[in-house]
Structure 1
Amino acid sequence: MRRPVTIKHVAAEAGVSLQTVSRVINNGPNVRAEVRERVTAAIARLGYVPSIAAQRMGGSRSYLLLALNDRDRTIDGWRSGEGTDWVDQMLLGGMLQCAEAGYRMIFELVDTHSSHVEREVQAAISALHPDGVILTPPHSDNPLITGLLVRMGMPFARIGSTAQGHGFAIAMDDHGAAKAATSLLLDLGHRRVAFVTGSDEYALSGARLEGYRAALSERGQAVDPDLIGRGDFTFESGLAACAGFLALDDRPTAILASNDQMALAALKCAGTRGLDVPDDLAIISFDDTPIVRFSHPPLTAIVQPIAAMTAAAAKLLIRSKAGDADLPQTMILPFDIARRGSTADSPAGPGS
């Protein structure tokens, strides 16, 4: 079996030091053109692929980004078998963007509710020495975590957060998305539109609720508190909220849920009560993870650009580490609505 080519082989082939090879790999200064050409030729002849260790030798960059996700929610979703592919899409976007720049992304789970959350984050950073940190909700708006990163001088990006503060903020227009989804249901003739919120720990939950309220207000409709159900992004919370809606004497004819799990719970509630979707009850979801395309009927959903948000976060951190100062501190990515079989005209008809 052929032994892997290392930086030592390249140095010997080119007749230079390990540090010189590393400076060439990292496009560093203080390397004569003739030496750079010799090292580059040796790399090509030997088919050498630079390792992170070799890249680190050349300067201040580690070529690693650290992504932090909430431990409890992630593990609970995996263990129950009810998780969605939100994490998969997040990893895909970040890892592909890192690969383009010769970086790697490491994924760590941290308990946002732990009294030792700062110690957990600091331990991960001390072990890995990343060039930047990507925070996913609810870490994105956890002041203990963001405050620690500021004190450490660690660049970071906050996915799903538009709050003012340090770090790059990358989010979807959650207010606009909820407003558009509610408006779609109103356009279809629904006048009793219910809304299932997300967890209050997530800033985006409040933005979605306000978007729902704004759509109703623009149509001259009062917000009925009975049609707002408190959820926490779990299937069980969606069941509880939707059961409450459907027990009302004047039940809703449409439900907008703040994520796919709670929308699937609405679909189950409708089925247990003998209601047809979409003829008796229309349902719209947030996120559009693949699971909603295989429900019966497939769910209409707000398409959240999960992979694109993580890719944008990774790109901003990498460019920042490279010295690019002309970078946006806030990025709002566009959403879309995927129309499927769970939405139709209200029983009273459109415009009623």
Structure 2
Amino acid sequence: MARRRQAVTIKHVAADAEVSLQTVSRVINNEPNVRPEMKARVQASIDKLGYIPSIAAQRMSGSRSYLILALNDRERTIADWQARQGSDWVDQMLLGGMLKCAEYGYRMIIELVDTHNDHVARELNAALVALQPDGVILTPPHSDNPLITGLLEERRIPFARIGSLGNGGGIPLVMGDEQAAERATRHLLRLGHTRIGFITGSKEYALSSWRENGWRAVMDEAGLATEGLCVTGDFSYVSGTAAAEQLLSLAHPATAIVASNDQMAIAVLDHARARGLDVPRDLSLVSFDNTPVTMFSQPPLTAIDQPIAATVARAAELLIAAKKGDKLPAGVTVIEASLIERGSTAPPAPA
């Protein structure tokens, strides 16, 4: 019968490197004031012995938990999962956050919380007590929920606010929504469109108004009319259909539309077809998000690519820095979105 291999512990590393347990712990936890040669010596022993630090051991060694907690809206997330329509927001959060946390010996955990739930503070407090995270990442609409931000302030837990300007504390990060809407609108202007419609997102998201502002700024700069061309949506397919009906039933219909998310853009595409319109010959269409559905629609959608993974990665990095006491950048951190041109935009059809 083969003997079970003995687990390598911090004591084995200390003995091999001929240093104290405290020195090994400081190297594992990437603490300051460790001489480079000592760090290299300990790391060499770690690599040779195949030692893998456990989070439990790290948590016991100091004031850090080595956990970052990310919160996402429960209702919308579960609806997206159940619909199976290609939304990859959570996937991108995991991609950026988990990989960045791993670089620093951290782990990221996602919790779903209902922003409208009367018990949101109780739910969040239970998660904080159980996990004791070193920092919390908030996504819209949690980013601007005073019940959540107030509790984190009270508990003195560092928190990053994606899609927020950070009024009331925290580390604010945005994805350049206003500039992205400007970029989408200018793209359509360059193609020759002057009747450019815009479908907003839900008003509970600050970024919805930022995107509308970007569209209006470019239209105003070009001296183009906007009356009747801005329609309120709520990020749902149903609202996208209603908005498309309104924009395409005008006396002078929109020849191009910017939709504030992919589900509403797909609704516009379907409604246009139902009216006998061809995209992009009769109607150009630009979407926000760039989820997988945009690549497989017919035609593939020109879309604003939201840098979700990069933004969550940066949020995690800033939270880890805050926990270590490092100086953080002043103001709002901007991770710029980009425009991906595909087959849903073209010059307007001749009159």
What's the TM-score once normalised by structure 2's chain length? Answer: 0.91
- In structure 2, distance between residues paired with 1:319 and 1:221: 46
- In structure 1, distance between residues paired with 2:209 and 2:30: 46
Structure 1 gaps, min length 5? none
1:274 aligns with 2:272: no
**Aligned CA distance change for structure 1 residues 36 and 182 (closer, same or farther; 3 Å):** closer
Give yes or no for contact 1:168–1:328 (8 Å, CA) kept in 2: no
**Aligned CA distance change for structure 1 residues 220 and 120 (closer, same or farther; 3 Å):** same
Cα deviation, 1:136-172, whole Å, max 9, x if unaligned, reads 1111111111111111101000111124331111112
**Aligned CA distance change for structure 1 residues 207 and 11 (closer, same or farther; 3 Å):** same
Structure 2 partner of 1:337: 339
Moved more, 180-189 or 268-277: 180-189
2:231 to 214, 229, 232: 229
Matched length: 348
1:188 aligns with 2:177: no
1:158 to 155, 158, 161: 161
- In structure 1, distance between residues paired with 2:237 and 2:299: 18
Q: Partner letter of residue 316 of structure 1?
A: L
1:144 aligns with 2:147: yes
**Aligned CA distance change for structure 1 residues 87 and 33 (closer, same or farther; 3 Å):** closer
Structure 2 partner of 1:51: 54
- Match of 1:277, SS state, is coil
1:86 is displaced (CA, Å) by: 1.5
1:31 is displaced (CA, Å) by: 9.0
**Aligned CA distance change for structure 1 residues 55 and 227 (closer, same or farther; 3 Å):** same
Structure 2 partner of 1:260: 262
Structure 1 partner of 2:115: 112
**Aligned CA distance change for structure 1 residues 15 and 261 (closer, same or farther; 3 Å):** same
1:310 to 287, 302, 312: 312
**Aligned CA distance change for structure 1 residues 124 and 276 (closer, same or farther; 3 Å):** same
- In structure 2, distance between residues paired with 1:37 and 1:218: 58
**Aligned CA distance change for structure 1 residues 16 and 237 (closer, same or farther; 3 Å):** same
1:253 is displaced (CA, Å) by: 0.9
Cα deviation, 1:170-225, whole Å, max 9, x if unaligned, reads 1121111112211221222222211110111110000011111111111112321x
Matches within 5 A, 1:129-140: 129-140=132-143
1:283 to 282, 285, 288: 285
Q: Partner letter of residue 349 of structure 2?
A: P
Structure 2 partner of 1:215: 218
- In structure 2, distance between residues paired with 1:26 and 1:115: 39
**Aligned CA distance change for structure 1 residues 273 and 53 (closer, same or farther; 3 Å):** same
Matches within 5 A, 1:168-207: 168-207=171-210
Moved more, 2-11 or 334-343: 2-11
- In structure 1, distance between residues paired with 2:213 and 2:32: 52
2:294 to 292, 295, 298: 292
Give yes or no for contact 1:21–1:39 (8 Å, CA) kept in 2: yes
1:91 aligns with 2:111: no
- In structure 1, distance between residues paired with 2:210 and 2:43: 52
- In structure 1, distance between residues paired with 2:288 and 2:191: 18
**Aligned CA distance change for structure 1 residues 29 and 256 (closer, same or farther; 3 Å):** closer
- Match of 2:217, SS state, is helix
- In structure 2, distance between residues paired with 1:3 and 1:237: 61
- Match of 2:317, SS state, is helix
Structure 2 gaps, min length 5? none
What's the TM-score once normalised by structure 1's chain length? Answer: 0.91
Structure 1 partner of 2:65: 62
1:58 is displaced (CA, Å) by: 2.1
